[in-house]
């Protein structure tokens, strides 16, 4: 009986929002001053974002254009203008000492561009003249002794209303699933089993430069940013044993450069925001497989470019209403070449070489209306028209146009409680790399290109409930229903040398998703400054398989994600320690003659300790992957198309990963 009473009291406390804990009002905007994060001794703005109750960080996406690609964090009211430089890296370069406060805007607010999100965080930086230099070194040291070191140096200079930023990074990339294991082939017809030893590797060393300047210009604010990146990567899979020796290597390289120019300011009673961005990139890949009697080499090179010009005008006719409109134009291209050689002979592939160009224009309009103290309504639409042309394997051109409406209704009955209802019709972008042949000889083999792809369309209905409690606690429950049209998956494509799998449209589909996020302070149970975060996401999708005609899940979708994070700030030791658990992932892929089941068998566990003896020094130590997760990839091969042919073999790759020791040393010079 006492347990039931305690649970009831706990539930009532949550639903009543019993504690006033942040500066807020009925608008749904929560304000966290720097003092809120003091116990955690954060180093960067990203560290502070990770401590926001009921906030899930979104890094954005790499779709072409600028609309809908930004993450859910603003900096001084504006989205970062860079696309090559990801949002998390930008936030990692903002010192926590530069942050005055963070505003969390839920559902919308007049004058705020929500960037297509229902919840965003707005980082407000301090004003004044300061100069800060941060030097950092770090390393991942694996159980077999090899390391992946990184180092960075960054400068932030505030001079009045101007800000200058620069960073130089030498980083190491690695495959955390690399290790030793087995490769088992089971002949379904005879029952014979062959087991070979397997060894996988994967790492690369790259570098990046980022520079930005924000200065007053023409009565507004002008920002220019430059990003240069080089990120090579080399991986291998080696088999040895009764089945024979095989070595599969993959050597890739990516060079990217970006220049962004951004200006915003007031014109009469309106705010104008303009953006010009230019990106150029080159990606190369050589994928080879060698056995005693077979040699395969797939090579590709893609050169890409993107030019964007965008303007947005915001006008507030009343304090509770903001109207926004604008336009965006973009030109994109990809020059792709590829070749496949099998035992010295060239094999023709559908769309082996192609040049793809896109001319795209978009106009948009929306309004945000606070029509009552506890109600906000945001509604608008974007209209996109584009012309995509391809030359190479085929020469064709087509025009596409789509209307993309969106509406969000937000009710904030109390400062701690909010309900949000969202409707949105989204249109995916065509991935130009899908127009050109590609390969993954260690897994899916060679893929054809498909110039006949259509953009995937999804209509979304979402309901969210958010409740804050106990100063740092929060509960968010979200229901999402998605109806898809022209779902992009894998389809068979026939060329002069046979039938290959290629990205294609498989018709309609649906997905239901249920999210629960809980941030629970543990002070009331005797763990001072302890914080438990739990995220659980369930997904239930259904599409019709283009080969068998049967219903199945969407390729690559993970049915469940579970994350648990415990942290405790210990002021007397000037330390924070924590434990992180992830249930890992489970994915299925469907092709013409095979089904793949890729999964990482849990648990993934890391334990860390961060010590900050002075405001200038930070030492971070971490035991990473304590459970030594197992990467398992099972491929079921059929004698022909899955709807008519028999299953002939089951191939299973199982690799046990290595634990790591990670450290980071950070020094700040003011």
More confident residue, 656 or 493: 656
In this predicted structure, which of 3-12, 543-552, 642-651 has the lowest mean pLDDT? 3-12
> What single DSSP character describes residue 429?
P
- E strand residue ranges, 393-472: 396-414, 417-427, 438-440, 445-447, 457-469
Query: Among 469, 487, 481, which Cα is nearest to 514's?
Result: 481
CA distances from 264 to 13, 141, 165 (A): 44, 45, 19
Instruction: Report the pLDDT averaged over residues 564-591.
Output: 93
Point out which residues pair with 621 in neighbouring strands: 609, 663
Decide if pLDDT at 444 tops 70.
no
What pLDDT score does 8 carry? 38
Entry pTM: 0.85
pLDDT classification of 22: cutoffs 50, 70, 90? low
For residue 45, the surrounding DSSP H or E stretch is: helix 45-49
Decide if pLDDT at 57 tops 90.
no
Using one digit for the tens of pLDDT, what is the confidence trace for 371-412? Answer: 998 999 999 999 999 998 888 767 788 888 999 999 999 999
DSSP string, 613-669: EETTEEEEEEEE-TT--EEEEEEEEESS-TTTSPEEEEEEEEEEE--EEEEEEEEEE
CA distance 599 to 54: 29
What pLDDT score does 13 carry? 40
For residue 94, the surrounding DSSP H or E stretch is: none
* Entry field: residues in the chain: 670
Residue whose structure tokens are 């720097």: 34
Neighbours of 372 (CB within 10 A): 12
- E strand residue ranges, 160-269: 162-174, 179-187, 193-217, 220-230, 233-240, 246-267
For residue 498, the surrounding DSSP H or E stretch is: strand 498-505
Instruction: Decide if 347 contacts 309 (C-beta within 8 A).
Output: no
More confident residue, 602 or 224: 224
CA distance 539 to 296: 38
Query: Among 273, 261, 243, 250, which Cα is nearest to 111's?
Result: 273
In this predicted structure, which of 346-355, 415-424, 525-534, 607-616 has the lowest mean pLDDT? 346-355
What pLDDT score does 471 carry? 86
What pLDDT score does 24 carry? 52
In this predicted structure, which of 52-56, 162-166, 431-435, 453-457 has the lowest mean pLDDT? 431-435
What pLDDT score does 16 carry? 40
In this predicted structure, which of 412-416, 436-440, 470-474 has the lowest mean pLDDT? 436-440
CA distances from 285 to 188, 211, 249, 432, 441 (A): 35, 29, 10, 16, 12
What pLDDT score does 501 carry? 79
In this predicted structure, which of 13-17, 135-139, 391-395, 649-653 has the lowest mean pLDDT? 13-17
Please give the distance of CA 28 from its chain centroid, rounded to a whole number: 26
Using one digit for the tens of pLDDT, what is the confidence trace for 253-277? Answer: 999 999 999 999 998 889 999 999 9
Please give the distance of CA 558 from its chain centroid, rounded to a whole number: 15
Using one digit for the tens of pLDDT, what is the confidence trace for 105-163? Answer: 887 777 677 777 888 899 998 888 889 999 999 999 998 888 999 999 999 998 988 99
| Domains of the chain and any CATH numbers | 2-183+210-669 (2.40.170.20)
The tokens of 400 are what? 């596409």
In this predicted structure, which of 376-390, 420-434, 549-563 has the lowest mean pLDDT? 420-434
pLDDT classification of 290: cutoffs 50, 70, 90? very high
- From the number of C-beta atoms within 10 Å of its C-beta (0-12, 13-18, 19+), residue 494 rates as exposed
CA distance 185 to 193: 6
Mean pLDDT (the chain) is 87
What pLDDT score does 23 carry? 54
């Amino acid at each position: 009986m006492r347990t039931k009473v305690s649970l009831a009291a706990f539930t009532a406390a949550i639903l009543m929002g019993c504690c006033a804990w942040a500066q807020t009002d009925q608008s749904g905007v929560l304000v966290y001053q720097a003092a809120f994060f003091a116990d955690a001794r954060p180093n960067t703005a990203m560290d502070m974002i990770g401590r926001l109750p009921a906030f899930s960080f979104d890094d954005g996406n790499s779709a072409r254009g600028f609309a809908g690609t930004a993450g859910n964090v603003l900096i001084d009211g504006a989205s970062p203008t860079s696309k090559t430089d990801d949002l998390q890296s930008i936030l990692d370069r903002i010192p926590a000492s530069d942050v005055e406060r963070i505003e969390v805007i839920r559902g919308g607010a007049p004058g705020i561009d929500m960037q297509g999100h229902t919840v965003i965080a707005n980082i407000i930086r301090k004003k004044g003249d300061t100069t800060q230099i941060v030097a950092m070194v770090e390393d991942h040291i694996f159980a077999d002794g090899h390391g992946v070191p990184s180092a960075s140096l960054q400068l932030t200079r505030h001079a009045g209303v101007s800000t200058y930023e620069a960073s130089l990074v030498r980083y190491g990339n690695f495959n955390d699933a690399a290790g030793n294991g087995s490769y088992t082939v089971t002949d379904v017809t005879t029952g014979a089993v062959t087991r070979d030893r397997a060894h996988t590797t994967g790492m690369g060393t790259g570098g990046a430069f980022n520079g930005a300047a924000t200065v007053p210009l023409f009565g507004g604010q002008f920002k220019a940013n430059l990003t240069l990146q080089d990120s090579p990567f080399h991986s291998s899979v080696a088999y040895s044993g009764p089945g024979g020796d095989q070595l599969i290597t993959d050597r890739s390289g990516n060079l990217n450069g970006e220049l962004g120019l951004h200006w915003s300011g007031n014109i009469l009673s309106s705010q104008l925001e303009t953006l010009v961005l230019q990106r150029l990139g080159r990606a190369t890949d050589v994928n080879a497989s060698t056995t005693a009697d077979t040699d395969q080499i797939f090579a590709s090179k893609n050169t890409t470019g993107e030019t964007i010009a965008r303007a947005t005008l915001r006008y507030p006719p009343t304090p509770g209403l903001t109207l926004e409109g604008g336009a965006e134009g973009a030109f994109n291209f990809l020059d792709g070449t590829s070749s496949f050689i099998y035992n010295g002979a060239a094999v023709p592939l559908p769309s082996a070489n192609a040049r793809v160009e896109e001319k795209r224009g978009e106009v948009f309009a929306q309004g945000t209306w606070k029509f009552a103290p506890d109600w906000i309504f945001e509604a608008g639409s974007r209209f996109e028209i584009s012309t995509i042309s391809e030359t190479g394997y085929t020469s064709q051109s087509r025009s596409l146009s789509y209307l993309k409406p969106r509406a969000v209704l937000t009710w904030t009955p109390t400062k701690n409680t909010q309900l949000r209802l969202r409707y949105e019709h989204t249109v995916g972008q065509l991935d130009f790399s899908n127009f050109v042949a590609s390969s993954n000889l260690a897994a899916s083999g060679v893929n054809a290109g498909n110039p006949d792809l259509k953009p995937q369309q999804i209509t979304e209905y979402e309901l969210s409930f958010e409740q804050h409690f106990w100063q740092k606690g929060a509960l968010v429950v979200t229901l999402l229903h998605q109806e898809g049209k022209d779902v992009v998956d894998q389809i068979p494509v026939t060329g002069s040398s046979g039938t290959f799998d290629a990205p294609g449209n498989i018709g309609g589909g649906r997905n239901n998703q249920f999210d629960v996020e809980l941030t629970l302070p543990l002070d009331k149970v005797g763990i001072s400054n302890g914080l438990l975060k739990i995220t659980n996401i369930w997904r239930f999708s259904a599409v019709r398989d283009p080969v068998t005609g049967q219903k199945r899940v969407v390729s690559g979708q993970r049915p469940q994600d579970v994350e648990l994070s415990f942290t405790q700030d210990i002021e007397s030791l000037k330390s924070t320690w924590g434990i992180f658990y992830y249930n890992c992932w489970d994915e299925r892929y469907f092709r013409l003659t095979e089904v793949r089941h890729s999964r990482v068998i849990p648990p993934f566990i890391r334990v860390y300790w961060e010590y900050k003896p002075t405001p200038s020094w930070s030492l971070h130590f971490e035991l990473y992957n304590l459970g030594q997760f197992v990467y398992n990839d099972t491929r079921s091969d059929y004698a022909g198309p899955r709807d008519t042919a028999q299953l002939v073999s089951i191939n299973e790759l199982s690799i046990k990963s290595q634990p790591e020791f990670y450290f980071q040393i950070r020094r700040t010079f003011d």
